[in-house]
A and B are shown apart, each in its own frame.
Chain A
């Protein structure tokens, strides 16, 4: 299990390749990457992601450990960035390795659902009109109930 919180960009291809090649007897590798899109109202210049340095790493590790306890996984990778990002930048990625694809897919979805609402990150969008904090969505909170 590897959990990384960093400001710098990450190399998705390299991370995915290293993750996939680091295991034997894993029949399924699933990766998900979150990318910065425009603000809903358009015209976004940049996004700044604030986080809680003392808590972020621990919270992500706890979520990853929960995934490992619920599904039969060979490995988990979580990378999440903070700081200033622009449209098209990769914000985060998760990767799961399992003997079978159902475990790998479900665990990746679980990780995404939980780190959206339970990892201490806050997004702020800057447009020509000013800056606005991104509001959490009810459906993101509701998504946790299926697990």
Chain B
């Protein structure tokens, strides 16, 4: 699946987008896999309360299922308007 990062999450991880092969069943499991990869992921995902997630371009929660999902995006709380 495609994993996207925006704003300071993108800056901390160092890339805007990557393809990830995963068996993770939920967003939370995917986060654990990413954190175990490298320090920059562990830093970016150290406080999930400071992050939001969208699955297939819809806002959701970290316990959301990844069944059939093509795109997951991580970003800080939004500051539109």
Which residue numbers of A lie inside 8 Å of B, CB to CB? 34, 50, 52, 54-55, 58-59, 80, 91-92, 112, 115-124, 133-136, 141
Contact = CB atoms under 8 A, between A and B. Distances in A.
Nearest to A132: B8
A11 to B, nearest CB: 20
B79 to A, nearest CB: 5
Contact of A117 (B73, B75, B80): B80
B24 interface: no
B79 A121 contact: yes
Contacts of B73: 52, 55, 120
A24 B6 CA distance: 42
B13 interface: no
A81 B7 CA distance: 16
Given A122-B6, A122-B7, A124-B7, A117 B77 contact: yes
A116 B78 contact: yes
Contact of A133 (B71, B76, B81): B76
Interface residues of B, number: 17
B70 to A, nearest CB: 11
Contacts of A134: 79
Nearest to B54: A55
Contacts, number: 69
Contacts of B76: 122, 133, 136
A54 B71 contact: yes
A38 to B, nearest CB: 16
Interface string B54-68: 100111000000000
Given A52-B73, A55-B57, A112-B81, A133 B6 contact: no
B22 to A, nearest CB: 20
Contacts of B58: 55, 58
Contact of B57 (A58, A80, A112, A133): A58
A118 B59 contact: yes
B57 A115 contact: no
Nearest to B11: A133
